[in-house]
Structure 1
Amino acid sequence: MFETITLETDARGVATLTLNRPDKHNAMSAQMLADLTDAAAKIAADDAIRVVVLTGAGKSFCAGGDLAWMRDQMSMDAETRSAEARKLATMLGALNTLPKPLIGAVQGNAFGGGIGMACVCDVALGVDTAKLGLTETRLGLIPATIGPYVLARMGEGRARRVFMSARLFDAGEAVDLGILARSVPAEDLAAAIEREVAPYLSCAPGAVAAAKKLARDLGPRIDTEVVDHTIAALASQWESPEATEGIGAFFDKRKASWAP
């Protein structure tokens, strides 16, 4: 049914949603965005699903944007780039408002949009060997469409420690920043996720959905106006000379002009 993800549900109603492009480090392509958006709608409509675990196949959780997708965007006009950014925003919004608990199992590295994926989870646990980073500014871009979810999870003060610097950090710092609730050895991740899943199976599904909606209603505002602002900000940055230089340098395998 899906090209870039898998969705499996066990007899208890625990669904596992897996990013399934291990050879590409689960980088997000246009097809993956469409698959995830469709999967979110399917999960939301399935009363048999009680809890959802989001994870990745292979060594990486999610490496951010797919390189071919980014290369294609270099030749797009501003309107088309905005439409592509909206696909990402739509997918993140669908997962963020999913009327089921969403538990992230970050089994490997997460960069750029991968951080956004972790931040739309209600709770995310990660392996203690994972490296993470909001790496967009290294390419002359900004973490725009994921920004509302990153700020909602981390708070502005903590987010500003890593939001603009593109530096990589380890799982321990990811816990301190609020991206991960806990980091555990790889061999303990499955058991730790199960401990997060189990309590929900004793809860009334409708009450869980209502409580999650209330938390979202009371939390930082992430509405159409905010999403449109992030899309416009990203589209504007794509038009900048820095984006042209940064992305060009990346594909040319050279240092950008601002790099030492």
Structure 2
Amino acid sequence: MTSVTGRVHLALHGQVAQVILSHPGKFNAMSRAMWRELKDAFVELQGRSDVRCVIVAGEGGHFCAGGDIAEYPDFRFDEAALRGFHEDEVWGGLSAMLACDLPLLAQIEGNCMGAGVEIASCCDIRVAGSGARFGAPIAKLGFPMAPREAALVAREAGTATAREMLLEAAVFDATDMKARGFLNTVLPDGTLTPAVLARAQRICALSPQAARLNKQALRTTQGAMPATGEGAYRYADSPDHREGIAAFMSKRAAVF
């Protein structure tokens, strides 16, 4: 699965699995290939009986800075292609995480933006370094968060926080996100790896059957994500969408 556009590593350490987001030089921004690999990793993990806990983390001191915008001009301005990206690739990866019956721990350092917030929202327990930053400032790029992705973030981060992220392009620090209920624990930067591993090992010592049944029971209380309406991606060829991405690629401020 090696890819020049980043990759998702799945590593097994006894009963603990690690899913590592890796995109060097781009703060682990998610490429299209990475979304497909994320789905593959969690489909595989769901079927394994030897794994009891999964840690989701990023390489190089960052979790995930969002999507790989360098790819966007290739497909985002076509409505059908844009729908396929969000509904098949992005939601394919996120829904595989949500359907996984193993406890998922998010180990969050540095940038956790856009896609990073969505991936973290799929995890059961979220631990962050004190220097972590959270947001989804895609309004600066001229496009919205896809409906089911926005519903997921609103459910986990809270509607008020989601509104600030999406409507105001607000960025929050780890202390603020813990106060808002998104994070379970905030630790000093550089201490996360042993702390999260110790937490995973405590989970592994408990009943794996109970963990799976608890995940299934909790899933029933959350309800299904809303269906995506037909018009959700009609903005694909809009002037705002084109201007936002063109401005990012040119390293200038967008003018809407």
Aligned to 2:239: 241
Distance across 2 between alignment mates of 1:237 and 1:116: 21
1:64-87 deviation line (CA, Å, top 9, x unaligned): 11022212124x521111111121
RMSD (Å), alpha carbons: 1.8
1:124-153 deviation line (CA, Å, top 9, x unaligned): 111111122111111111122421221111
| Larger CA deviation: 169-178 vs 57-66 | 169-178
1:169-193 deviation line (CA, Å, top 9, x unaligned): 2111121233322221123212331
Aligned to 1:255: 253
Tell me which of 60, 63, 80 is aligned to 1:61. Answer: 63
Q: Which runs of 4+ in 1 moved over 4 A?
A: none
- Work out whether residues 78 and 236 of structure 2, in 8 Å CA contact, stay in contact via their aligned partners in 1: no
Q: How many residues align?
A: 251
CA 1:51 to 1:32, structure 2 compared with 1: closer, same or farther past 3 Å? same
Aligned to 1:183: 186
- Work out whether residues 150 and 162 of structure 2, in 8 Å CA contact, stay in contact via their aligned partners in 1: no
Tell me which of 97, 103, 115 is aligned to 1:101. Answer: 103
Aligned to 1:205: 208
Aligned to 2:78: 77
| Larger CA deviation: 206-215 vs 39-48 | 206-215
Query: What TM-score do you get using the length of structure 1 for normalisation?
Result: 0.90
CA 1:203 to 1:227, structure 2 compared with 1: closer, same or farther past 3 Å? farther
1:10-47 deviation line (CA, Å, top 9, x unaligned): 12x10011011122211111110111111111111110
- Alignment partner of 1:35 is 2:37: yes
2:145 match: secondary structure: coil
Distance across 1 between alignment mates of 2:28 and 2:108: 12
1:48 match: secondary structure: coil
Aligned to 1:149: 152
Displacement of 1:243? 1.0
- Work out whether residues 65 and 112 of structure 2, in 8 Å CA contact, stay in contact via their aligned partners in 1: yes
Aligned to 2:163: 160
- Work out whether residues 159 and 177 of structure 1, in 8 Å CA contact, stay in contact via their aligned partners in 2: no
1:89-126 deviation line (CA, Å, top 9, x unaligned): 11101111211001000122111111101111101111
Tell me which of 128, 138, 141 is aligned to 1:139. Answer: 141
Distance across 1 between alignment mates of 2:244 and 2:206: 49
Aligned to 1:129: 131
Q: Match of 1:102, as an amino acid?
A: L
- Work out whether residues 164 and 170 of structure 2, in 8 Å CA contact, stay in contact via their aligned partners in 1: no
| Larger CA deviation: 211-220 vs 157-166 | 157-166
Q: Match of 2:210, as an amino acid?
A: A
Displacement of 1:227? 4.5
1:105 match: secondary structure: strand
Gaps of 5+ in 2: none
Aligned to 2:228: 228
Distance across 2 between alignment mates of 1:104 and 1:2: 23
| Larger CA deviation: 152-161 vs 15-24 | 152-161
1:221 match: secondary structure: coil
1:158 match: secondary structure: helix
1:160 match: secondary structure: helix
Distance across 2 between alignment mates of 1:237 and 1:105: 34
Distance across 2 between alignment mates of 1:148 and 1:227: 10
Aligned to 1:194: 197
Tell me which of 118, 121, 129 is aligned to 2:120. Answer: 118
Distance across 1 between alignment mates of 2:180 and 2:68: 25
1:163 match: secondary structure: helix
Gaps of 5+ in 1: none
Percent identity at matched positions?
Answer: 29
